[in-house]
Structure 1
Amino acid sequence: MTAARLIDAARAKGVRIATAESCTGGLVAGAITDIAGSSDVFECGFVTYSNLAKVRMLGVREATLAAHGAVSEETAREMAEGALSRSGATLAVSITGIAGPGGSEHKPEGRVCFGIASSGGTRTETVDFGAPGRAEVRRLSVAHALSLLSTAVDKLP
């Protein structure tokens, strides 16, 4: 899904978008704002690379981070919900993962957790992109986030 198509669909439905990004470091916000006219739909982006930033800027609970880690659907959920509640957006996407290099047996390189939040609720998912390299994991994560946003916009009334 392209950012241009997302913007067109969001504009048609009056949707405002916020992003909460960790491993992508603002690339989703960048992809959206690369498109002329994105100000019609893009509210804001939070780049919360550190756990402290997740807590302070998005309201992720320290207990969630301690119990599940930054790379978890639980953290992705709280990131998306925090972005939604701390902005004027109607739809928020979050991304937290291990772009690489590195990782562990339990959280390998290329594992990325996503959240998508709206007034209708929050959905999370994990995608294992494998270990194609840091730049590719980030590229794939941006594409997936744009797809999640587009699907969510399409489902809105």
Structure 2
Amino acid sequence: MAALTDHELDQLAARLGERLRAVRDHVVTAESCTGGWIAKAMTGVSGSSDWFDSGMVAYSYEAKQALLGVSPQTLEVHGAVSRETVIEMVSGALVRSGASIAVAVTGIAGPGGGSEDKPVGTVWIGWKRRGGYTRAELFHFDGDRDAVRRQTVAAALIGLETL
């Protein structure tokens, strides 16, 4: 996925907002590597208060535990950038909000922080509907820090459209 421009991200968020408003869904975000960018994209849409519930930025292990209820054992065994962690993040966001759907992201945007097992550009995104299924997907994005984060925001918004 190529990194999108600000205008393209705005268009994605607006399209999502129209869909959420039509079905009366409300969304919550739980963000790590994007630092609130998904929530920013959504709240940049006029009228987003009709469908945006809240957003949480949980960057550190401690914040993931305190704000989202991620288990210390999950973080110790699997690390912050893992399927297990993103599933706990997206589930925790729903528990702690009034939203009907949630998205969570955790990854390595770079330029440092990567490893052989989890190189820069490794991102997990999770989506969940209250009372429904959880979907988690692993992405490997190319580019610098900004490009990885932009691609993550786009993938998160696109994934919400399918819930």
**Do they fold alike, i.e. is TM over 0.5?**
yes
Aligned residue identity for 1:92: A
After TM superposition, where is structure 1 displaced by more than 4 Å over at least 4 residues in a row? none
Residues 1:142 and 2:160 are matched in the alignment = no
Q: Identify the residue that residue 155 of structure 1 maps to in structure 2.
A: none
For 2:83 and 2:158, the matched residues in 1 are separated by 18
Alpha-carbon offset, residue 121 of structure 1: 1.7
For 1:70 and 1:29, the matched residues in 2 are separated by 20
For 2:18 and 2:63, the matched residues in 1 are separated by 31
Deviations 1:56-75, CA, capped at 9 Å, x for gaps: 00000001001100000110
Match of 2:127 among 116, 120, 124: 116
Deviations 1:61-117, CA, capped at 9 Å, x for gaps: 001001100000110000000001100000000000000012000010000001101
Q: Judge which range, 49-58 or 118-127, deviates more.
A: 118-127
Q: Identify the residue that residue 105 of structure 2 maps to in structure 1.
A: 95
For 2:28 and 2:61, the matched residues in 1 are separated by 19
TM-score w.r.t. length of structure 1:
0.95
* Identity across matched positions, percent: 54
For 2:35 and 2:45, the matched residues in 1 are separated by 18
Q: Identify the residue that residue 59 of structure 1 maps to in structure 2.
A: 69
Residues 1:44 and 2:54 are matched in the alignment = yes
Q: Identify the residue that residue 85 of structure 1 maps to in structure 2.
A: 95
Secondary structure, aligned partner of 2:127 = strand
For 1:63 and 1:115, the matched residues in 2 are separated by 19
Structure 2: tracts of 5 or more residues without a match: 1-10
Deviations 1:117-148, CA, capped at 9 Å, x for gaps: 11212110100013x10000000000000001
1:5-44 to 2 correspondence within 5 Å? Answer: 5-44=15-54
Aligned residue identity for 2:104: S
For 1:41 and 1:73, the matched residues in 2 are separated by 27
Structure 1: tracts of 5 or more residues without a match: 153-157
TM-score w.r.t. length of structure 2:
0.91
